[in-house]
Amino acid sequence: MKLMVLLTAAACALGGPGAQPEPPAPTLDGLAFLAGAWEAKDEAEGEQMREVWDMPRGDAMVGHFSIVASGKAVLYELLVIELDETGPVMRLRHFGPGLEPWASEAAGPLTMRLAELGERRAVFEDPARAFPRRVVYTREGDRLGVLLEPAPDADREAITISFERATE
C-alpha cells in the first residue's frame, strides 16, 4: 500500500494522471505587431502624431508617442510594456514641453493590464479609470489603429487614431 501511495505521488509530480499542466510562461511575442514607427495627421486640429515601438527585448517593449501642432511639440508620452508575474502590463507617462511631467500622474504612471490578445489585436485596460478605461491596438497591413475608450459613465468621447507606417 505504501508503495502504491508513493508511486501515485511520484506520477502526479511528474505530470501523470490528475496532474495540472504548468501554464506557459507569459511572453511579449504576441505584441510584436506593434513594433515600428507609425504616423498620423489630424488635419482639422493641425496635429502630427507619431508612435514608435521597439521589438520585444527580454521582458519589456519600449515605445514613445508625440504630438506636434503648428510646428511645436505639445505632448510627449513614454510607454513601456513589461512582464510581471501575471503577464504584460502597459505603463505610460505624459510630458509637456521641456519634459515637464503631467501633475495628474504625480502618484505614478498610468498602468493597464493586457486584457485581450489576438492576432494583431491587443486590449489593455484599467477598470478603475474613467479615461482611458481601455486602449485597443489593432493592426491591418501597414496601418495601426489605436482606440482610447472611456468608461461607460465617463464624460468623455472615445478617441480613435489611425496610424500609417512611417516612411522615414
What DSSP line would sit under 98-116, residue for residue?
A: GGEEPGGGTT--EEEEEEE
Over the chain, what is the mean pLDDT? 88
Whether the pLDDT of residue 2 is over 80: the answer is: no
Question: pLDDT tens digits, residue range 93-129?
Answer: 999 999 999 999 999 999 999 999 999 999 999 999 9
Closest alpha carbon to 29 in 55, 62, 63? 55
Lowest mean pLDDT among 16-30, 80-94, 151-165: 16-30
Helices (H), the chain: 2-13
Domains defined along the chain, listed by start = 26-165 (2.40.128.20)
6 phi and psi angles, rounded to 5 deg = -65, -40
Residue 152: alpha-carbon gap to chain centroid = 21
Query: With bands split at pLDDT 50, 70 and 90, how would you rate the model's confidence at 10?
Result: very low
128 within 8 A of 71, measured Cβ to Cβ: no
Query: With bands split at pLDDT 50, 70 and 90, how would you rate the model's confidence at 131?
Result: very high
pLDDT of amino acid 25: 63
pLDDT of amino acid 143: 98
Closest alpha carbon to 39 in 114, 142, 154? 142
pTM over 0.85: no
Q: What is the mean pLDDT of residues 81-87?
A: 93
Question: pLDDT tens digits, residue range 40-68?
Answer: 998 887 899 999 999 999 999 999 999 99
